[in-house]
Structure 1
Amino acid sequence: MLTTLKAALPGRGSGLPGDLLTREVTVDADHLADYAHLCGFTLRDELPPTYPHVLGHPLHMALLGKAPFSAVGVVHIANRIVQHRPLLLGEDLTITASVRGFEPHRRGKTFDFVTEARVRDELVWQGFATNLKRGAGDESVPKPPAFEPPPVTAQWRVADDLGRRYASVSGDRNPIHLHPITAKALGFPRAIAHGMWTKARCLASLRLPDAFAVEVRFKQPILLPSKVTFGEDGDRFAVHGHLEGELVKLAD
């Protein structure tokens, strides 16, 4: 909690921190079950592919606490995961995180949290969370390529308490997700769903290979409560109006 509060305060310096932070993790089976249930994954010995992002969250907050700006107003706009093989419950994991950037963007500048999970010396998982620090942008930066969303294959009801429930399993207690009052203070009409819950819910609906790369772009936030539609077709999937994603199977 102290790390989260520190990240919300203005930092010092002019550049992003160059630290490589590390934590050793043994996954708690009860916490994993709570996360899997909330995100729609079947409970099994393999970790959901989005779960290592949660394990890296304390390191992300520690890095933000060293950044030259407050975390308030930073927006997670894209996320890429590379899973080299499934991570298994019972494996001891070494999680590392660093930050890279800045890169120009049409609405400010972006930076990435780069997270890796290893079992002993084996790199098994990588995550790249792209965040936008809003400000003076660069209109010369190309727009993302057009994405044709697949047709609707499912409809989801997203409950009004989802933000608080996901915060309890992820540690991400950004006030925009927790309550309408705190969300309104930061410019949203209601609390919004966490982007990584939305990505996790999508992946829980797909048939995933053992080794893959999956990238999503977050479009518009999901206001809580909401009813949204999901579609998937081959390697493309979407929560219509909110998320666009692509999955690529990696060679064995």
Structure 2
Amino acid sequence: MLEVRGLHHVYGRGKDAVTALERIDITVAAHELVCVVGPSGAGKSTLLRAVSGLLNPTAGSVTLAGRPVVGSPPPGLAMVFQDYARSLFPWSRIGSNVAFPLAGIARQERRHRVETALQAVGLPDVTRRYPWELSGGMQQRVAIARALVTNPLLLLMDEPFASVDAHTRADLEDLLLRIKDEHGTTTLVVTHDIDEAVYLADRVIVLSGSPANVLADLTVDLPSSRDQVLTRSLPRFVSMRAQVAQLIRTRHSPPHVPSRGASPSHERRET
């Protein structure tokens, strides 16, 4: 469904140039849910912007369902951002917010799609309400419904649950898994949360520190049916979480500088 080849991006020119992405190769198969993790500032959001067509990379290519992504977001792509409060139009009712991507579609079909999308996120009765009348978690559900209303080929999510409390975050994670199971939506999620990535994903892609390149592409061999308590207590979950954390830590930690007077035999060694 998604193919990223040799993606390279540099901000600025000359002595002020900063390389954000360095020859990134990623594939996402149809119906997969793939999470991208890495240290803060590694270029995860730059990667997502390039995949979405909001950023023209310095080099490399992005194709969605065999068609190049160049210059602007292509048809069949939807995106959910972290800040739900700024993603929705506060002056518009929920029904109008969700229907926003459906310009040009007949009214009856538009209404049906809005109702179906809101039903999918567990909010069937909020079409007449305004965003500011809903909780943060409900607003993010509305943002997800607006992304689903177009039946996208690819759903991109940039730290989608980072701005909600832990309980709501768990509910939204399970919502995303249910949407994947029921609708088969191909999804690429950028997250800082290693536990979230392992819990959600079919595969976890680990990026290095800036400039970003792919350190590992790990298959998550956990049962397809996930549970917030049982799954996270499985030895394999704990093992995978540690593996991802170690990859990020050892490839991003600054060199150790021994304290004054310490002998080389007392220097800490990391593997």
> Shorter-chain-normalised TM-score: which range?
under 0.3
Q: Which has the higher contact order (CA 8 A, sep 6+)?
A: 2
Instruction: Say which one has the larger Rg.
Output: 2
TM-score, with normalisation over the residues of structure 1? Answer: 0.26
Structure with more of its chain in helix, by fraction? 2
TM-score, with normalisation over the residues of structure 2? Answer: 0.24
Structure with more of its chain in strand, by fraction? 1
